[in-house]
A = this chain, B = another copy of it.
Amino acid sequence: MKPLSTGRKITVPGFSFSGISAGIKNSKDRDLALIFSNRPAVAAGVYTTNRIKAAPVKLSMKHITSRKAQAIIINSGNANACTGTSGMKDALEMNIKTAEELGISPDLVHVSSTGIIGKPLPVLKITDSLPELIRKLSPLSLNHAAAAIMTTDTFPKSSSRQITVDGKRGTIAAITKGAGMICPNMATMLCFIMTDIAIHRQALDSALKEAVNRSFNRLAIDNDMSTNDTVLALANGDLQNRPLTKRAASYENFKKALNDLTYDLAEMIARDGEGATKVIEVLVKGARTEKAAERVALSIANSMLVKTAVYGGDPNWGRLMAAIGYSGVDVNEQTIDISLNKIKLVRKGIGTARETAAARTLSRKKILFVIDLGTGQETAKALTCDLTEKYIKINAHYST
């Protein structure tokens, strides 16, 4: 088992964590994680819109309707996707055995899987490991859980924010995994959010949807969408504040903290994109609607030509203009400004001939494109990474 980075430990009152090796991965790396709340928590979830959903996703979507959850068990190394009825049986088995071992109701347990598609889940390895997994639960082990959900990720991803509610410091923390949107024969972006702040189900649900829309849904690694993508949020109310509603004074702060947190995690996923050497942030301003700004930003973030140009150190704004043009948004060439790392490349649709200066800034690890469409007041950001030969190597030469 690889050593984990130490550093400040993230804790969330009332939550404990565990991450062990159950032998699902050949590498013997951690591959089984448990998140446990000391009481049933208010729960909200956002799931992949892929029509083909992995068994655990279908099960979690069913359980989320009960609006409460107390535990999330996650395995990496196997996605339990395209596994038919036996896959569903395995997901149920994992759910029921975990509930039994924890002594709680099965509908309070969420199951999540990530890894190889189309192979039977080694469910016995998971259920046999439950006693150890539960024994190792600790408020200080969030980093173990973050490590245990990794597939092709090169580093564990976690982050936290604190806000004041009713005069008390509440915490929102999360772990996530990503790398490729679908990794080599691997599936899944997963994110699990824990907070001790008491909040009503509807308010949590609405805040979570907004946060996901502005972070993970604006993240483009390779245009592919996994069968397993899942974001779950658990609010256990340990802070004992008056539960937040959408009209509560602190709700805006809660949403802002959650937006910041998820964007931070999305940026970590972009940084860890397969083969990536740089994070690319695309800020679109001056759009008629936020949706229009988002479409333009994602069109650019999804352009293989933009991503390879950044990799090659080439401030090729013609490729951005083309991506803006085919985004489907009604744009006007003559009002478009483009800048790269604050150097204006295009003014009113015409190049400024500042490519040489701009090219020098492309050696940075974080690249910022700002596009002003000049047609309105709305903005949106998207995140991606550069596209390199290493992406091809990782995805071509991974053998099934």
Chain A: residues with CB nearer than 8 A to chain B?
A: 49-53, 81-84, 116-119, 180, 182, 184-185, 187, 222-227, 302-305, 308-309, 311-312, 314-319, 321-327, 329-331, 333-334, 346, 349-351, 355, 387-389, 391-393, 395-400
Contact = CB atoms under 8 A, between A and B. Distances in A.
A399 B84 CA distance: 49
7 tightest Cβ-Cβ pairs between the two chains A and B = A312-B396, A117-B318, A52-B325, A308-B395, A50-B325, A225-B326, A389-B389
A256 B53 CA distance: 40
A366 B296 CA distance: 35
B312 A395 contact: yes
Contacts of A184: 305, 316
Contacts of A117: 318-319, 321-322
B81 A222 contact: no
Nearest to A392: B389
B333 A396 contact: no
Contacts of A187: 318, 322
A80 to B, nearest CB: 12
B304 A222 contact: yes
A305 B349 contact: no
Contacts of A387: 392, 396
A298 to B, nearest CB: 12
A305 B49 contact: no
B225 A316 contact: no
A395 B350 CA distance: 22
Contacts of A308: 391-392, 395-396
Nearest to A331: B51
A185 B323 CA distance: 12
Contacts of A185: 314, 316, 318-319
B351 A82 contact: yes
B333 A82 contact: yes
Contact of A322 (B119, B227, B399): B227
A223 B325 contact: no
A396 B392 CA distance: 14
Nearest to A82: B321
Given A49-B326, A398-B312, A82 B350 contact: yes
Given A82-B346, A389-B393, 9 more contacts: A50-B325, A82-B318, A82-B333, A117-B319, A182-B322, A185-B316, A185-B319, A224-B304, A227-B325
Contacts of A119: 351
Contacts of A355: 400
A317 B223 CA distance: 17
A221 to B, nearest CB: 9
Contact of A223 (B83, B303, B321, B351): B303
Contacts of A118: 317-318, 321, 350-351
Contacts of A311: 392, 396
A195 to B, nearest CB: 30
Contacts of A224: 303-305, 319, 322-323, 326
23 contacts: A51-B329, A51-B333, A52-B331, A81-B321, A82-B349, A118-B321, A185-B314, A185-B318, A187-B322, A223-B223, A224-B303, A224-B304, A224-B305, A304-B304, A308-B391, A309-B396, A311-B392, A312-B396, A312-B398, A315-B400, A387-B392, A389-B393, A391-B392
